[in-house]
């Protein structure tokens, strides 16, 4: 098969350095190490089933597809979900069907960023994958269970790729600096180990980001004096900003808010503020975080610290009043307070149990003595009859049933022996004792 990587002089460094065989591939030992299934596919040169590569940017998904293209005896088509549509899909499918019927040759269709296709577009592949007209290789940075339709996903083997380690990124960069054919080996480039490791650190496991930054740094400097020296400031300027892996609609969104919520629940203010900053610096809407803090204040703190809800609401108001970037500190302040507050999910459990009874027993009638009686007719038929007005009692409480008859005696709210709920337990015992006509419980 013709090599897909005939490099031109102005081809970007990341593309020039793309491995042409397995020995040059860096990382992902979990799927291409000795004895692993993907390595066996590459070594045997035969791919029988469709696959999906899922992993963060710059971890090798597209490179693995290219390696398969160079090693498997099949017609390979590279297809981008960003620039192509269903009409082109149909054309490619028709061509693949013709090759299979005339020459017996299989077609491998690689779809980069397959998550960009909507459900209808993905449906177009399904019958052809099922019949074997094409073998599909999809690459995605998004969780396939969210972004790939279930029927298609069930017909593919999913390989999970990880962000490259710092040692992997360092190896890629040293290859770029030493390779005389495709890299900068013939250029007199000086870079200390400290500066190189700084670039490694800023790349966050993304080889493409690392190579692009290196290329920008080198190409922006003149070597007429006989060499180029890359400094920390030059690298930082070339990187422009530290890219944080975050998507506001996908898995990272849910992973990070889960980490924040669980750190708050676990009483760790440091971890809470870290995950909060990860979300904010990654571009999350601050009002979304504020709403989650409000929910947390009721769900996980409740009346163990009644001030927690007020503080969370005030943080949300601050977001609305002053916006970014100033509101970040208000959210951090709220997160720190919520993390160290005493915890109780008693209100959450009480509501959940009450809601279960609502679903189990349906619309139980309101006892007559609790009903409103705005008209004479309603009073005649008993609405409001027998209601005892608590303010008429010396202690401000009367012995009256407030639940439907079927639920009499139910106790949904069970405060925890933590924080202000200790005081609430005392109050419940006190009022219950008075309501039952005896002495208050001490």
Q: The domain that contains 417 carries what CATH number?
A: 1.10.3710
CA triple 411-416-420, angle to 5 deg? 115
Same-domain status, 260 and 297: yes
- How many angstroms separate the CA atoms of 237 and 166, rounded? 20
Same-domain status, 190 and 141: no
Question: How far are the Cα atoms of 89, 332, 335 from residue 342, in angstroms, in the given order?
Answer: 57, 18, 13
Same-domain status, 155 and 39: yes
Last residue of a domain, one of 306, 340, 374: 340
Same-domain status, 70 and 130: yes
Q: Predicted confidence band at 129 (pLDDT cuts at 50, 70, 90)?
A: confident
Residue 352 lies in a domain: no
How many domains does the chain fold into?
4
CA triple 316-321-322, angle to 5 deg? 105
Same-domain status, 47 and 139: yes
Same-domain status, 38 and 151: yes
Same-domain status, 197 and 314: no
Q: What is the pLDDT of residue 305?
A: 95
Task: Give φ, ψ of 379 to 5 degrees.
Answer: -65, -35
Last residue of a domain, one of 239, 264, 283: 239
Residue 244 lies in a domain: no
pLDDT in tens, 392-423: 888 888 888 889 989 988 999 999 998 999 99
Here the CATH number for the domain that contains residue 50 is 3.40.50.300
Q: Predicted confidence band at 251 (pLDDT cuts at 50, 70, 90)?
A: low
Residue 94 lies in a domain: yes
CB 163 within 8 A of CB 59: yes
Is the sign of the CA dihedral 256, 257, 262, 267 positive or negative?
A: positive
Same-domain status, 32 and 153: yes
- How many angstroms separate the CA atoms of 10 and 17, rounded? 13
What is the chain's mean pLDDT, rounded?
84
Within 203-345, residue ranges assigned H as helices are 207-219, 232-239, 251-265, 269-281, 286-296, 307-322, 327-340
Residue 357 lies in a domain: no
Q: What percent of the chain has pLDDT over 90?
A: 25
Same-domain status, 175 and 153: no
Same-domain status, 191 and 145: no
pLDDT over threshold 80, residue 207: yes
pLDDT over threshold 80, residue 206: yes
Q: Predicted confidence band at 1 (pLDDT cuts at 50, 70, 90)?
A: very low
CB 278 within 8 A of CB 246: yes
Q: What is the pLDDT of residue 115?
A: 82
Higher pLDDT, 213 or 72: 213
Here the CATH number for the domain that contains residue 190 is 1.10.8.60
Last residue of a domain, one of 204, 239, 274: 239
Q: What is the 3-state secondary structure (H, E, C) of 16-78?
A: HCCCCCHHHCCCCHHHHCCCCHHHHHHHHCCCCCEEEEECCCCCCHHHHHHHHHHHCCCEEEE
Side-chain-facing half-sphere of 412: CA atoms under 13 Å: 15
3-state helix, strand, coil in the chain (%, to 5): 55, 10, 40
Q: What is the pLDDT of residue 5?
A: 44
Higher pLDDT, 268 or 373: 268
Here the CATH number for the domain that contains residue 309 is 1.20.272.10
Same-domain status, 74 and 106: yes
Q: Predicted confidence band at 4 (pLDDT cuts at 50, 70, 90)?
A: very low
Residue 88 lies in a domain: yes
Mean local confidence (pLDDT), 317-335: 92
Task: Tell me the residue range of the domain where 176 lies.
Answer: 166-239
pLDDT in tens, 10-66: 788 888 888 888 888 888 888 888 878 888 877 877 777 888 898 888 888 888 888
pLDDT in tens, 70-123: 777 778 888 776 666 667 777 878 888 888 787 777 788 888 888 887 777 787
Residue 59 lies in a domain: yes
Look up the pTM and report it.
0.62
Length of the chain: 442
Q: What is the pLDDT of residue 329?
A: 95
Residue 121 lies in a domain: yes
Within 8 A by CB and 6+ apart from 300, the residues are 261, 264, 265, 343, 344, 345, 348
Same-domain status, 235 and 173: yes
Residue 6 lies in a domain: no
Asked if residue 149 has a cis previous peptide bond (ω within 30° of 0), the answer is: no
């Amino acid at each position: 098969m013709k090599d897909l990587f005939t490099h031109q002089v102005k081809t970007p460094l990341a593309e020039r350095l793309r491995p042409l065989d397995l020995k040059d591939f860096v990382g992902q030992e979990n799927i291409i190490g000795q004895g692993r299934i993907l390595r066996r596919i590459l070594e045997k040169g035969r791919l029988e089933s469709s696959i999906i590569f899922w992993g963060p940017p710059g971890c090798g998904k597209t490179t693995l597809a290219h390696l398969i293209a160079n090693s498997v005896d099949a017609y390979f088509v590279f297809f981008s979900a960003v620039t192509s549509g269903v009409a082109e899909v149909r054309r490619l499918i028709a061509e693949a069907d013709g090759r299979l019927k005339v020459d017996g040759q299989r077609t491998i269709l690689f779809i980069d960023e397959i998550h960009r296709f909507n459900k209808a577009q993905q449906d177009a592949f399904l019958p052809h994958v099922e019949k074997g007209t094409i073998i599909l290789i999809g690459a995605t940075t998004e969780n396939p269970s969210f972004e790939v339709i279930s029927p298609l996903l069930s017909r593919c083997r999913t390989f999970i790729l990880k962000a490259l380690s710092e040692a992997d990124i360092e190896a890629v960069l040293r290859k770029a600096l030493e390779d005389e054919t495709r890299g900068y080996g013939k250029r007199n480039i000086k870079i200390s180990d400290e500066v190189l490791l700084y670039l490694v650190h800023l790349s966050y496991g993304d080889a493409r980001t690392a190579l692009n930054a290196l290329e920008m740094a080198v190409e922006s400097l003149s070597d007429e004096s006989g060499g180029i020296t890359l400094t920390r400031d030059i690298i930082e300027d070339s990187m422009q900003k530290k890219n944080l892996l975050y998507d506001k609609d996908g898995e990272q969104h849910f992973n990070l808010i889960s980490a924040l919520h669980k750190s708050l629940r676990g009483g760790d203010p440091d971890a809470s503020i870290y995950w909060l900053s990860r979300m904010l610096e990654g571009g999350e809407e601050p009002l979304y975080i504020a709403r989650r803090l409000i929910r947390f204040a009721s769900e996980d703190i409740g009346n163990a610290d009644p001030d927690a809800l007020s503080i969370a609401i005030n943080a949300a108001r601050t977001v609305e009043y002053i916006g970014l970037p100033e509101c970040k500190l208000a959210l951090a302040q709220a997160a720190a307070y919520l993390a160290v507050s005493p915890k109780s999910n008693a209100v959450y459990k009480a509501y959940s149990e009450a809601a279960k009874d609502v679903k189990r027993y349906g619309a139980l009638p309101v006892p007559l003595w609790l009903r409103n009686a705005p008209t004479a007719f309603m009073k005649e038929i008993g609405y409001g009859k027998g209601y005892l007005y608590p303010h008429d009692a010396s202690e401000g409480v009367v012995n009256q049933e407030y639940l439907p008859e079927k639920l009499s005696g139910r106790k949904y709210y069970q405060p925890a022996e933590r924080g202000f709920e200790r005081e609430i337990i005392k109050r419940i015992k006190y009022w219950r004792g008075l309501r039952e006509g005896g002495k208050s419980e001490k």
